[in-house]
Structure 1
Amino acid sequence: MVAGKSQRVVVVGSAGRDLAIGMTSLPEANASAPIERTMERLGGKGANIAAGIRQLNPECSVSLIAVLGVDRAGEAVLEDALDLGIDTACVARRGETSLLVDLVDDSAERRILEQVSPEASVREEDVRSAAMVLGEARVVVLQLRQPVAVLTRAAELAPGAVVVLDGGFDGAVDSELAERLLTRADIVRANGEEAEMLAGHSISSVSDAERAAADLLNRGPSIVSLTVSGSGDLVAWEGDSHFFPFGDEPVVDRTGAGDAYVAGLVTGLLRAEPPRELGRRASAAATTAVQQFGGFTRFAERSRVDG
């Protein structure tokens, strides 16, 4: 879809402080358990996606539109993003920085705790302030946990960009706005729960995912990627589809796998790869993520995704 060495990717989504806590087993109620290891750094779906894209495409300019608090935690996250080479000029500062806690045991069972302030959502004024950056974008990733009206405005400010939607619409979303955003989207990606939100019915098999993907393709996007929970990811496009089953690699922590998947998708887009190859690359990126502790995926061994 897009090609060229000089690219700008813009990610609109959440950012915060991510604290991963590993232990042998999660404690029962009113019990305790020793902590085996911890990792603390930038997190949130928007920040994780931006970090993944930047690592996989160091030649690419990656801008993040998100919100961090006016506090020490916000400063630490901002420094982490800058160290990764992410353009943070469009990161707004207000309220308190979101805290995301990932509790995971040796069996990869996890609990996610979130402390997110009302000020943490991206607002329309944040998007308007980033109009120049959006106008230069070749790819724009929109995280659907943000207000749909704001995301729609971001898409409108990026007329020449390939638009990637990540997530699903909940029941409170205005249906007209949701359809408007779907019409503008080029790619839609959703995990198992989010895919069911988009489809309006359960997705427990590949055939269920194929049916849901066909409906979404008729509503605007040219590529749809949906997860069949516990099985794998379906990538569908006009006239064809391919299912990528989950591998047999040992799972350490599933947190951040979806964000890595999106980073892989965007990497394929920047290389103008066909849909089947996009899915292969995205699946490889997610596999890298689940073999690591914490929601931040380290793509130091790029050959695992580029091969």
Structure 2
Amino acid sequence: MNANVTVVGQLARDLVLVLDSVLPEVGASGAVRERREQLGGKGANQAVALAQLGARPTLVAVAGDDPFGDVLLEQARADGIDVSAVVRRSATATGLIVEVLQEPNRWRYLEHLPEPVLLSAGDVTQADRAFGTAEAVLVQLQQPEEAVLAATRRAANADALVVLDGAAPDRARDELLALADVVRADAVEARTLTGADSPQQLEVAAADLVRAGPRVAALAFAEGNVFAWRGPGPNVETLTLPFGDEKVVDTTGAGDALVAALTVALLRGVPVPDAARFAVAAAGATVGHPGGRPALLGLG
């Protein structure tokens, strides 16, 4: 099943610097062991993962009108992503995310994502065609609230599977939860969204989220993920899945792979427990290399 999936989120130039040692002190220099420059940002990472899993992704995002934007869009096309809905903002530099990684999994991000490279409600409206044929729409809540609301409403009106990634802003929380089919939050976002941080607390919080509107909730904690979904009748079921025993080099992008895989599995009609396990496996397949670019070919 090659589903049409629209991703509303960030596109950026990803620069990953892997260090052999600690960061140099102020006024000193240090050696970089490995350097990767690639298509990145949460939206692009999710779109790449979707394409690798057999979906047909369309990306709604903003790139600058600089040469880096040209390069990233060409990479996205090569990855099988429809970029016709990507806005090219004039007189704007494409967003930049620098990751400094000290193995294992000790990362720092330096981000240059000013307002011009974030989506506006107008950008979402102009991307109307991207929603018309979408069977699922992934909306990243790290984008401005007006754009998030516009995209979520448009997806719900199109009767697409609405997948929200992040912590809903307080003012729009009730409406977003009512419109969502799936809600996903990483460990930091899950604490912001629910106030819970232990697996036991998150099981209760995830079940409460499902009762508030979504049919599936996926909340991360330090050692794994909690999934909740609507069972038969009024019942809400939960499943806690710890992380696997994969060697962890860098957790960057693991959540993006999880969201993409969960979406693909649900579109295929896979029962939620099996979809959850598939999503966690996709996250595990992403943590073994530096940077957030997914590596899911062959997984689906």
Is 2:207–2:237's contact at 8 Å kept on the other side of the alignment? Answer: no
Partner of 1:168 in structure 2? 167
Deviations 1:128-185 (A, max 9, x none): 111122021100000000122222222222321000000113xxx452x221111000
Amino acid at match of 1:116: L
Q: Secondary structure at the match of 2:184?
A: strand
Partner of 2:233 in structure 1? none
Amino acid at match of 1:118: E
Q: Secondary structure at the match of 1:242?
A: strand
Match of 2:12 among 3, 9, 16: 16
Alpha-carbon separation, structure 2, partners of 1:76 and 1:50 = 16
Structure 2 gaps of 5+ residues are 231-235
Aligned Cα RMSD in Å?
1.3
1:47 to 2:24 alignment: no
Partner of 1:234 in structure 2? 226
Deviations 1:33-76 (A, max 9, x none): 2111111111000010001001111xx32100000011011111
Partner of 2:128 in structure 1? 131
Q: After TM superposition, what 4+ stretches of structure 1 lie above 4 angstroms from structure 2?
A: none
Structural mapping, 1:43-192, within 5 Å? 43-57=40-54, 60-94=55-89, 95-158=92-155, 159=157, 160-169=159-168, 173-175=169-171, 177-192=172-187
Cα distance, 1:32 vs structure 2: 2.9
Percent identity between the aligned chains?
39
How many pairs align? 290
Amino acid at match of 1:138: E
Q: Secondary structure at the match of 1:157?
A: helix
Match of 2:267 among 266, 270, 273: 270
Cα distance, 1:7 vs structure 2: 2.1
TM-score of the superposition, structure 2-length normalised? 0.93
Is 1:70–1:93's contact at 8 Å kept on the other side of the alignment? Answer: yes
Q: Secondary structure at the match of 1:36?
A: strand
Deviations 1:116-136 (A, max 9, x none): 121011111211111122021
Cα distance, 1:28 vs structure 2: 4.2
Amino acid at match of 1:55: Q
TM-score of the superposition, structure 1-length normalised? 0.91
Alpha-carbon separation, structure 2, partners of 1:209 and 1:128 = 35
Deviations 1:199-257 (A, max 9, x none): 1x141x2111112112211211010000112x100111122111110112211111111
Of 207-216 and 182-191, deviating more is 207-216
Partner of 1:25 in structure 2? 21
Is 1:17–1:43's contact at 8 Å kept on the other side of the alignment? Answer: yes
Amino acid at match of 2:211: N
Q: Secondary structure at the match of 1:289?
A: coil
Structure 1 gaps of 5+ residues are none
Partner of 2:203 in structure 1? 210
Partner of 1:292 in structure 2? 289
Amino acid at match of 2:10: S
Is 2:217–2:227's contact at 8 Å kept on the other side of the alignment? Answer: yes
Alpha-carbon separation, structure 1, partners of 2:3 and 2:49 = 15
Alpha-carbon separation, structure 2, partners of 1:259 and 1:11 = 11
Match of 1:219 among 192, 212, 226: 212
Partner of 2:252 in structure 1? 255
